[in-house]
Structure 1
C-alpha cells in the first residue's frame, strides 16, 4: 500500500466545513411572479419620480432676454479692440405678466385712510403716500385678484451661445497654485497669457481668467414713467462652497494690493484682481464670486452661469411683482466676432433644481421601458405556461 508523505499531508486543507466548502448556502431561485413584481414596482417608482420631477420643473418661472441684437450698436463698438475703454450702455424694457389672486398686506393699512384692506377698494383708492416702497406694495396687491408672478427666491443668470469653454487648451490655461494663493507668480501653465509684453507675470493668468464675462447688468422695476426702483441684488453667495473656501484663496497679506505686487492684470481686464470688489473684502481678489463662477468651465458651448440673486429686503421681501422692468446693461463682453449670442435670464428654483426636463424625462422613459419589459415577459410566461399545461394533459 502506497503511503502519502508527511509533508504532503501538511499542505492539505483542514477537514472543516469552511475550508472544504461545505457550508450551507442559499441558492436564489427566482420565480416568474417575483421577477415580474420587481420589474413592475421598479416601473411604478421610476414613472412616479419622473412625473414629479417634470411637474416640479414646469412650475419654475423663467424669462430669458437675448440682448445681442438689441444692443447692436454696443456690439459693433466692441468688435474693435481699440474701443475697449469706451463705455457703452443699453436699456432693455420688458414685462412680467400678471396673474390673479386677492391678497391683503399690513403695510397698506398704514398708508390709507383707516379702512380695512380686506374691504377697501384698492382699484379706486390708491395708497395715500408718495413713498416708492408703499407704492410698490400697492402694486403688489392692486387688483381684486393679483398674485406675485416671481414669488420667493429669484436668480439672475447670464447665458452665452457658441462660447466653447470645453476646449482642451483653454481648460489647461490656468495656474492652480496661483489661485490657491501660494505663489501668485507661478504662471508656467498659463500659455498664452502668462506674462505681459514687458515680462511681468499676469495674475490671474491663463485664457479662462482673461476671457471673464464682464458685462454689468442692473435690474430696475418701473413703477411708472417717473419712478424707477433699482432691484437689490446680491453679488455674493453664488458659488460652490468648495470653490469659495478650498480651491480659491487670496495670498496671505494684510494688504491685498501689496500681495499682488510684481504682477499685472490680464490684457482684457479693465482693473486688477484686487479691485474687483473693494467694498467687500470677503468678495475681492481670487475669492470674488463672479470670478470663481466663471472659472468653473462649462461642458457645452451653450451655458448659463449664476450672476446675481435677489436680496429680499425693503420692497422685495416677497419676491418680484408683476409689472414693467428694464435691464440696464453696460456692454463689455464681445460675442459677435465668433457669431455668439448673449442673454440674461431671471428664474426661480425648486427643490429639484432649475428648469431642466432631462432628469424627469430620463426617469419617465426608464419607467415606461421597464413596464414594457414587464408586460412582454408576462405575455411570454403565460404563453409558455399554457403550452406546458397542454402537453401535460396529453
Structure 2
C-alpha cells in the first residue's frame, strides 16, 4: 500500500511529476525535509514546496503505484504520460526508484543556494549545506539497507517457522493421517472381500497359465555324433569341449510333441546355476561403446576383459559380452517315413525394441574390414568368442555388430541363476505351421559350444506358446489362491470368535463407573 505524501516539481522534471512512498516511509520524508530546510527557513515558517506551480492531482496514480511499487524500495516516482482537458491522468508510468528523496533534496538545495548567492546578507554557509545533503543521503541509504535487510530477515524467519512446524510435527508423528478404528464390523468384511476376490482371480490366472503349451528338452549331456570314447561309445559333447574349448561338437536329440502348439510359438534357451546377477558381472560392460561412440580406451568396468595382449580393446568389452551364449539350435520335423523337414526359425524381433533402438548402435563407417573407415578398426573379438562382432550376422547388416539381437538379449542380465532367454521365433508364414506347431516327432540339432561343466550348470531348449499374460507361470495364480484362501479362513475363524465372545462397539463406549464388572 502506498500513500501520496506530496506533489513535487523536481529539478529537471516536468511539473506533473509525483513522488510516492510506502506508507511507513512518509515520516522519513517529512523529517528529512524539515531537517534540511531548518538552516534556511526561519523558525516557525511553514513548509513550502518549490516555486514551480503546483501540478494537478494525478488521478489513477494509485493504480499505477500499486503496479510499480515493491516492498524493497524506499520510494517510487510516477509520471503522467497523457492528461485530459479536465486534468485527469489516463496513463501513468514509473520514472524511477530509490533516489526520489535525493533528487528532490538536490533540486531544493540548488534552488536555495541560488537564492542565497543572490542575497549575500543572509550569509549562508554553502559548504555546511552540502555536507548536510551528503549526511542526509547517507542516512537514507543506511535506512534503505536496514529496511531491505529487515524484510529479508522477516521472510527468512517466516520460512523457518513454517519449516520448523513441519519438522516438529514430523518428528512428533503428528502429521495429518488416517487412523481407522479397527472393529469386527470393518475387519471381517475386509477378510471376506479379499478372499472372494483373490480366489476367482487366482483360478483365472492359473487357467490361462495352464493353457500355455510348453516343452523343455535338456541337452546338457547329449552325445557327440563325431567323437567317440576309447571303447567306441559316444562321447558327451561337454567332455569334448571341456578337453578342448576351441573344438566344436554336434549332437542330436529326438523328442515328441503329444499335442499341437497354437501360434505364436517361441524357442528359448535355458541356463541353470549361472549367476548373471553378480554385482561385478552386471557392471562389466561399456554402454558408451555399445552406443557406437568412437573411443580410444574402454571403460575400466570392463577390466580384465577390456583389451588383449596386443593392446587392442575387445569389441564388445566386459564379462557379460565375453560369456555370451553361443550354442546353435536347429529344429527339424520328422515325417512318418523318417524324412527331415526343416522348421524355419526367425532370429529378429526377439529383443526389446527400446534396447534395439536406443541402447545398442553400431559405430559409423564401412562394413568392409579393408577400408580405412572400417566400423570396428583396431578392435579384437572377446577372448572366448569364436568370431568377430561384425560376423554375427553378415547377411543382415541391421542384425550385425552391436545391433545383433542375440547379443542384445544376452546383455540384458537375468535376476535369478536359473533363467531362460528368447532365442528364435517359429516362422508361421510357412505351409504346415500357419496355425502353430503341429504334434509329432521332432529332432533338435545342436552345435555344442557353450561350456557349463565348470560351474555345474545345465542347458535346455524350450518350446512354448503364449497367452495374453505372457508365458507359462503358475506362481502368480497359486499365490492369489493361497492368499485368498488364508483370508477367507481367517474371516471365518474371527467371525466365530466374534459371535461367541465379542461385544458391540457401543458397549465399550457406554462403560462408566457404575458398570458392573463381568468376567
Which range, TM-score by smaller chain?
0.7 to 0.9
Tell me the secondary structure at the aligned position of residue 385 of structure 1.
coil
Q: Does 1:360 align with 2:471?
A: no
* Structure 1 residue runs without a partner (length 5+): 1-10, 12-25, 99-148
Tell me the secondary structure at the aligned position of residue 55 of structure 1.
helix
2: distance between equivalents of 1:47 and 1:246? Answer: 41
Structure with the bigger percentage of strand = 2
Partner of 1:53: 205
Q: Does 1:206 align with 2:318?
A: yes
Describe the superposition over 1:143-183 as per-residue Cα deviations: whole angstroms up to 9, x where unpaired: xxxxxx11211111111122121222211111111112124
Go from structure 1 to structure 2 and tell me whether the alpha carbon gap of 1:333 and 1:169 turns closer, same or farther (over 3 Å shift): same
Bigger drift between 380-389 and 309-318 goes to 380-389
2: distance between equivalents of 1:87 and 1:376? Answer: 64
Partner of 1:229: 341
Shift of 1:226: 4.7
1:281 to 397, 400, 411: 397
Go from structure 1 to structure 2 and tell me whether the alpha carbon gap of 1:28 and 1:178 turns closer, same or farther (over 3 Å shift): same
* Structure 2 residue runs without a partner (length 5+): 1-157, 159-177, 224-234, 509-514
Go from structure 1 to structure 2 and tell me whether the alpha carbon gap of 1:291 and 1:384 turns closer, same or farther (over 3 Å shift): same
2: distance between equivalents of 1:220 and 1:46? Answer: 43
Describe the superposition over 1:335-392 as per-residue Cα deviations: whole angstroms up to 9, x where unpaired: 1122211111111111122222211122112212222332233233323138969x99
Tell me the secondary structure at the aligned position of residue 348 of structure 2.
coil
2: distance between equivalents of 1:203 and 1:233? Answer: 27
Tell me the secondary structure at the aligned position of residue 158 of structure 1.
strand
Task: State whether residues 221 and 237 of structure 2, in contact with CA within 8 Å, keep that contact through their aligned partners in structure 1.
Answer: no
Tell me the secondary structure at the aligned position of residue 36 of structure 1.
helix
Q: TM-score, normalised by structure 1?
A: 0.74
Shift of 1:202: 0.5
**Alignment: residue pair count:** 318
Shift of 1:254: 4.9
Partner of 2:41: none
2: distance between equivalents of 1:255 and 1:66? Answer: 38
Bigger drift between 70-79 and 226-235 goes to 70-79
Partner of 1:144: none
1: distance between equivalents of 2:419 and 2:183? Answer: 49
Describe the superposition over 1:72-105 as per-residue Cα deviations: whole angstroms up to 9, x where unpaired: 5321111034x51x3321111111115xxxxxxx
Task: State whether residues 261 and 437 of structure 2, in contact with CA within 8 Å, keep that contact through their aligned partners in structure 1.
Answer: yes
Partner of 1:384: 502
1:193 to 305, 310, 325: 305
Q: Does 1:303 align with 2:419?
A: yes
Shift of 1:31: 6.4
Describe the superposition over 1:280-301 as per-residue Cα deviations: whole angstroms up to 9, x where unpaired: 2221111111111111111222
Shift of 1:218: 0.2
Give 1:1-394 correspondences, 5 Å limit. 32-71=184-223, 72-81=235-244, 83-84=245-246, 86-98=247-259, 149-184=260-295, 185-255=297-367, 258-315=374-431, 316-382=433-499, 383-385=501-503
1: distance between equivalents of 2:471 and 2:488? Answer: 28
Tell me the secondary structure at the aligned position of residue 94 of structure 1.
strand
Go from structure 1 to structure 2 and tell me whether the alpha carbon gap of 1:183 and 1:39 turns closer, same or farther (over 3 Å shift): farther
Tell me the secondary structure at the aligned position of residue 271 of structure 1.
coil
Shift of 1:39: 2.8
Tell me the secondary structure at the aligned position of residue 344 of structure 1.
strand
Go from structure 1 to structure 2 and tell me whether the alpha carbon gap of 1:236 and 1:378 turns closer, same or farther (over 3 Å shift): same
Q: For the pair shown, which has the larger CA radius of gyration, 1 or 2? A: 2
Describe the superposition over 1:253-299 as per-residue Cα deviations: whole angstroms up to 9, x where unpaired: 35475111111110111111111112222211111111111111112
Go from structure 1 to structure 2 and tell me whether the alpha carbon gap of 1:221 and 1:378 turns closer, same or farther (over 3 Å shift): same
Task: State whether residues 187 and 201 of structure 1, in contact with CA within 8 Å, keep that contact through their aligned partners in structure 2.
Answer: no
What is the root-mean-square deviation of aligned Cα atoms in Å?
2.7
Q: TM-score, normalised by structure 2?
A: 0.57
Go from structure 1 to structure 2 and tell me whether the alpha carbon gap of 1:27 and 1:347 turns closer, same or farther (over 3 Å shift): closer
